[in-house]
């Protein structure tokens, strides 16, 4: 419809005070965001259930993800210390040692080879073992000479088994020590946990979507009249939708903030014992915290989930609220 | 301003609410729409508001074919048509000011211009001092005037009203009608559905008369 142009001097002033479409759009985003946040914070008791539901739905997968991350770091620490020890049946000739060393280093899986003479082995043993006095009573050094082979961390476990058999057959080698069972178990556990994590994350994500969806549906129900009137006086679909989308996003974001707090609390609770344990067994291992980026990802995921839940509901529900 | 060209409306229930209606309403005109209960008055206004779609015929408002409007175009179109209902459709949890401000906020006016126009509209209906009140604190007549203020705050070229004096006593009804006449005098096209025959006769305007969904008189200016 063509609006008759105003011919009064007021026209200019009126045009200045009318925002551009972009400004109006931004202003409504700002107002919707502010209003829906104020609504939630203004009714903390009513909102608490939604916040907590979101917090739990986000915190559980986040904690499990952290556990997995730490398990990965742990296996990596163990990987780094993948070592094989080749024990000689009798103290070898220098030439034999050199030859053997050269052939081992030539293998693609081997990073480093070091010869440990019986004397050197004894020194190391004394240095790390308080019970070394036991050995003092013996006439001869009972420790065998050995080759300490450090393997590259990316060597597959199956390959290690093959190498072990090959090396055991080498002339002059009494036995080969290589502990891979632990690693195998850890890796298997990791795979299982990753699957479980994926499933849990999906299930809890769906639950969160449904929960937010229901909350938003109730809000739409409560604001039915308002929606009808705004439609009658010219509100677009996007305009009507906007406050509800922000509502979902806020539930998600606040829930995520609570989840982040929860995760950090849990981490703080296990950090002490875990570090004590790792000092005993895997000295290179340090507990990994979510950090800034992890926390940001959590907040982002929470807002996105809330927004999506609201969006899915709004698409369905708002169509039913038409002036008749 | 309004052109109906052989318009029919059949509801999905099978009820024929309007049959072959043709009439024109000129720009700046003021007219009444009458008829018995169930004659199709509300249906006709809803077609103009694009709240319902016609089953046949053509409706043109301000040069625009209403039935051709896309969903989002309808929103923008409605910003040029003010409506007043008998059940005033006010929001009871908002102040008078906020109720009247709704169309302006939706249309994207600045807060300052919104406040200026809301006060001008409230002043026009004599409720300037009630801007902070809530609708339930007002009398029926006052509530109806808030509804009118909301309908005109955007300065729409066309103003529709469905039984705007339905529950009001004769004095209040006359007052409300005088308000509509004032808006008409400054150039707004006004179209009012009512079955208050006495009141309509006193106004001396053109009357479009419906009976059982058919136009029986008032089709020509
Ligand atoms: N949504 C609807 N679905 C089906 N039939 C309807 C609908 N709305 C109205 N009708 C029917 O259409 C006819 C016209 O109704 P309408 O509301 O337009 O009459 P009216 O002239 O406004 O009556 P009143 O003076 O009582 O308000 C009536 O027979 C009514 O039953
Ligand atoms: Mg009616």
Question: Is B98 domain-assigned?
Answer: yes
Mean residue pLDDT of chain A comes to 83
* Cα separation, B189 vs B151, whole angstroms: 13
Interval A9-51: pLDDT, tens: 344 444 555 677 888 888 899 999 999 999 999 999 889 999 9
* Same domain as B27, residue B128: no
Best A24, A232, A235, A324 member to test B by mutation, with max B CBs in 10 Å, is A232
User: Which secondary-structure segment (H or E) carries B81?
Assistant: strand B81-85
* Same domain as B151, residue B161: no
Confidence of residue A5 (pLDDT cuts 50, 70, 90): very low
Question: Is B6 domain-assigned?
Answer: yes
* Same domain as B194, residue B99: no
* Same domain as B66, residue B11: yes
* Same domain as B141, residue B98: yes
Q: What is the pLDDT of residue B67?
A: 87
Q: What is the pLDDT of residue A18?
A: 63
CA torsion angle A223 A228 A229 A231 (round to 10): 120
CA distances from B120 to A52, A234, B117, B174 (A): 47, 21, 5, 22
Q: What is the pLDDT of residue A155?
A: 76
Sign of the dihedral through C-alpha B148, B151, B156, B162: negative
Backbone angles phi and psi of B169, in degrees to 5: -75, 165
CA angle, B191 then B141 then B159, to 5°: 20
Sign of the dihedral through C-alpha A186, A192, A193, A194: positive
Cβ of B15 closer than 6 Å to ligand 1, yes or no, is: yes
DSSP state of A182: H
Mean pLDDT of A267-294: 80
* Among protein residues, the one whose CA lies closest to atom 24 of ligand 1: B37
Question: Is B86 domain-assigned?
Answer: no
Interval B108-128: pLDDT, tens: 999 999 999 999 999 999 999
Confidence of residue A132 (pLDDT cuts 50, 70, 90): low
A/B interface, count of CB pairs below 8 Å: 85
Distance from CA of A187 to the nearest CA of B (A): 56
CATH 3.30.70.3040 describes domain A82-184: yes
ipTM score of the complex? 0.91
* Same domain as B146, residue B105: yes
- Domain tally, chain B: 2
What the block records as the tokens of A282 is 């895997």
What the block records as the tokens of B178 is 């005088």
* Cα separation, A245 vs A237, whole angstroms: 12
Do A324 and B162 touch, CB atoms closer than 8 A? no
Domain boundary among B135, B155, B175: B155
Cβ of B42 closer than 6 Å to ligand 1, yes or no, is: yes
* Same domain as B171, residue B75: yes
Question: Is B85 domain-assigned?
Answer: no
In the reported structure, the alpha carbon of residue B220 is separated from the centroid of ligand 1 by a whole-number distance in angstroms of 24
User: Bridge partners of B211?
Assistant: B214
Q: What is the pLDDT of residue A79?
A: 61
Q: What is the pTM of this model?
A: 0.77
The domain containing residue B127 runs over which residues?
91-155
Give every CB contact of residue A16 below 8 A, 6+ residues apart in sequence. none
Ranking A138-147, A161-170, A194-203 by mean pLDDT, the lowest is A138-147
CB contact under 8 A, A21 and B103: no
Confidence of residue A6 (pLDDT cuts 50, 70, 90): very low
In the reported structure, the alpha carbon of residue B15 is separated from the centroid of ligand 2 by a whole-number distance in angstroms of 15
Do A71 and A322 touch, CB atoms closer than 8 A? no
Q: What is the pLDDT of residue A135?
A: 63
* Same domain as B149, residue B96: yes
CATH number of the domain within which B55 lies: 3.40.50.300
Cβ of B11 closer than 6 Å to ligand 1, yes or no, is: yes
Neighbours of A68 (CB within 10 A): 16
Exposed, middle or buried by CB within 10 Å (0-12, 13-18, 19+), for B120? middle
Domain boundary among B155, B178, B202: B155
* Among protein residues, the one whose CA lies closest to atom 11 of ligand 1: B17
Coil vs helix vs strand at A20: coil
Helix, strand, coil percent content, chain B, rounded in steps of 5: 40, 25, 35
Q: What is the pLDDT of residue B182?
A: 93
* Same domain as B8, residue B64: yes
User: Bridge partners of B82?
Assistant: B159
Do B58 and B24 touch, CB atoms closer than 8 A? no
User: Bridge partners of A115?
Assistant: A147
Domain boundary among B136, B155, B174: B155
* Among protein residues, the one whose CA lies closest to atom 25 of ligand 1: B37
* Same domain as B168, residue B146: no
- Name every chain B residue with its beta carbon within 8 A of the beta carbon of A232: 49, 51, 78, 83, 89
Question: Is B140 domain-assigned?
Answer: yes
Domains of chain A, by residue range, sit at: 32-77+188-320, 82-184
Better pLDDT: B68 or A184: B68
């Amino acid at each position: 419809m063509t609006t008759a142009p105003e011919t009064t001097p007021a026209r200019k002033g009126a045009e200045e005070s009318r925002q551009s479409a972009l400004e109006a759009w931004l202003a409504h985003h700002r107002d919707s965001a502010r209003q829906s946040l104020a609504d939630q914070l203004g009714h903390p008791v009513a909102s608490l259930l939604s916040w907590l539901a979101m917090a739990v739905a986000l915190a559980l997968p986040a904690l499990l993800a952290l556990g997995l991350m730490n398990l990965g770091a742990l296996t990596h620490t163990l990987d780094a210390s993948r070592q094989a020890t080749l024990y000689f049946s009798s103290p070898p000739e220098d030439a034999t040692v050199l030859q053997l060393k050269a052939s081992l280093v030539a293998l693609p899986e081997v990073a480093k080879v070091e010869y440990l003479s019986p004397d050197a082995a004894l020194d190391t043993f004394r240095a790390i073992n308080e019970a070394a006095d036991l050995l003092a009573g013996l006439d001869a050094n009972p420790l065998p000479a050995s080759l300490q082979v450090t393997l590259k961390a990316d060597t597959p476990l199956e390959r290690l088994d093959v190498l072990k058999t090959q090396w055991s057959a080498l002339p002059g080698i009494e036995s080969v020590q290589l502990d891979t069972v632990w690693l195998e178990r850890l890796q298997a556990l990791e795979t299982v946990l990753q699957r479980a994590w994926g499933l849990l994350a999906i299930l809890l994500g769906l639950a969160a979507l449904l929960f937010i969806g229901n909350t938003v549906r109730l809000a739409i129900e409560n604001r039915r009249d308002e929606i009808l009137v705004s439609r009658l006086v010219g509100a677009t679909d996007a305009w009507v939708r906007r406050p509800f989308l922000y509502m979902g996003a806020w539930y998600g974001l606040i829930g995520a903030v609570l989840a982040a707090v929860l995760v950090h609390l849990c981490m703080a609770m296990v950090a002490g014992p875990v570090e004590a344990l790792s000092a005993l067994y895997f000295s290179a291992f340090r507990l990994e915290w979510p950090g800034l980026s992890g926390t940001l990802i959590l907040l982002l995921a929470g807002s996105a989930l809330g927004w999506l839940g609201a969006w899915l509901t709004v698409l369905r529900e708002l169509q039913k609220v038409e002036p008749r | 301003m309004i052109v109906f060209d052989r318009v029919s409306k059949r509801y999905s229930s099978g009820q024929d609410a309007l049959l072959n209606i043709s009439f024109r309403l000129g720009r700046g005109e003021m007219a009444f729409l009458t008829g018995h209960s169930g004659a199709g008055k509300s249906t006709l206004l809803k077609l103009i508001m694009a709240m319902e779609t016609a089953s046949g015929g053509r409706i043109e408002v301000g040069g625009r074919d209403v039935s051709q409007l896309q969903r989002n175009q309808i929103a923008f179109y409605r910003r040029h048509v003010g409506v007043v209902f008998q059940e005033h459709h006010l929001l009871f949890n908002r102040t008078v000011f906020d109720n009247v401000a709704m169309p302006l906020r939706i249309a994207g006016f600045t807060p300052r211009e919104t406040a200026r126009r809301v006060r001008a509209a409230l002043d026009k209906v004599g409720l300037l001092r009630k801007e902070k009140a809530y609708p339930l604190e007002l009398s029926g007549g006052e509530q109806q005037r808030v509804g009118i203020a909301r309908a005109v705050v955007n300065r729409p070229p066309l103003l529709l009203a469905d039984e705007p004096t339905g529950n009001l006593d004769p004095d209040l009804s006359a007052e409300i009608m005088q308000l509509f006449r004032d808006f008409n005098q400054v150039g707004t096209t006004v179209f009012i559905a009512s079955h208050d025959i006495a009141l309509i006769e006193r106004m001396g305007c053109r009357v479009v008369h419906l009976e059982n969904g058919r136009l029986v008189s008032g089709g020509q200016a």
